[in-house]
Chains A and B, each alone.
Chain A
Amino acid sequence: GQQVMQIPQYQHVQEGEDFTTYCNSSTTLSNIQWYKQRPGGHPVFLIQLVKSGEVKKQKRLTFQFGEAKKNSSLHITATQTTDVGTYFCAGDSLWQAGTALIFGKGTTLSVSS
């Protein structure tokens, strides 16, 4: 079945270093979403990318959607301790009835000051 894969699974950085997580789908996606989950919390929507090659920025976070709409990345510039958490990508998937999101396993970011 369709898979959404994320790498790396874990990443530890020193505060101020950059961080990137990558997401790859086995099929072409109509859109991709990114969520952040703080330790002990619930996933919170960050952004949605729809267009091929799309790039969106949110302050220090840069999101890209690949030209083939099968991969995406999240880049954080100059990480801060507030960036700690697990970042999930999610793509649309055709389920038995209609479509729903399929989530990657997430990348857990830890930041030391």
Chain B
Amino acid sequence: DAEITQSPRHKITETGRQVTLACHQTWNHNNMFWYRQDLGHGLRLIHYSYGVQDTNKGEVSDGYSVSRSNTEDLPLTLESAASSQTSVYFCASSESGTSDGTDTQYFGPGTRLTVL
């Protein structure tokens, strides 16, 4: 069955370190998204991609970067981790056409990141 996976599921790192969170989907979806979830803030969009080589900034993109070299993967990199980036990170994908990310989104299980 098609699925979307994230790794690692839990990560503890130190301030200033570079961290990469992996997201892999086998739906063959064009669109992929990264969100962070914090108490009281709901889901906030970090970066999104409508296809290979396409990446775009979301609401809270500062300190994060993504790259899309193939359909299946959208890794999220924290260039220099900060304590404010302690959060639960969700990756999602949707099928839609280009420049339209409003189809049903399928979420991965999440990565809990702690920055000390």
Q: Which of B43, B56, B57 contacts A103 (CB 8 A)?
A: B43
A78 at the B interface (CB under 8 A): no
A48 at the B interface (CB under 8 A): yes
Q: Which of B45, B50, B107 contacts A43 (CB 8 A)?
A: B107
Specify which chain B residues have a CB less than 8 angstroms from the CB of A42 in the assembled complex. 90, 107-110
Specify which chain A residues have a CB less than 8 angstroms from the CB of B106 in the assembled complex. 45
B110 touches A98 (CB 8 A): no
Chain A residue at minimum C-beta to C-beta distance from B110: A42
Q: Which of B33, B41, B98, B109 contacts A100 (CB 8 A)?
A: B33
Stretch at the interface among A14-22, A51-59, A64-72, A88-96: A88-96
The docked-state distance in angstroms from the alpha carbon of A45 to that of B4 is 14
B62 at the A interface (CB under 8 A): no
Query: How many interface contacts (CB-CB < 8 Å) are there between A and B?
Result: 68
- Assuming the contacts A43-B43, A88-B43, asked whether A33 and B50 have C-beta atoms less than 8 A apart, the reply is no
Tell me the chain A residues, 3-20 only, with Cβ under 8 Å from chain B: 6, 9
User: Which range holds the interface residue count of chain A?
Assistant: 20 to 34
The docked-state distance in angstroms from the alpha carbon of A1 to that of B6 is 30
- Assuming the contacts A42-B109, A42-B110, A105-B40, asked whether A98 and B100 have C-beta atoms less than 8 A apart, the reply is yes
B99 touches A97 (CB 8 A): yes
The docked-state distance in angstroms from the alpha carbon of A9 to that of B40 is 8
Tell me the chain B residues, 44-76 only, with Cβ under 8 Å from chain A: 44-45, 48, 50, 54, 56-58
A102 at the B interface (CB under 8 A): yes
Specify which chain B residues have a CB less than 8 angstroms from the CB of A97 in the assembled complex. 50, 54, 56, 99
Specify which chain B residues have a CB less than 8 angstroms from the CB of A33 in the assembled complex. 104-105
B residues within 8 Å of A by Cβ? 33, 35, 40-45, 48, 50, 54, 56-58, 90, 92, 98-102, 104-110
**Chain A to chain B: the 5 pairs with minimum beta-carbon distance, closest first:** A98-B99, A105-B42, A100-B101, A92-B102, A103-B43
A residues within 8 Å of B by Cβ? 6, 9, 30-31, 33, 35, 41-45, 48, 88, 90, 92, 95-106
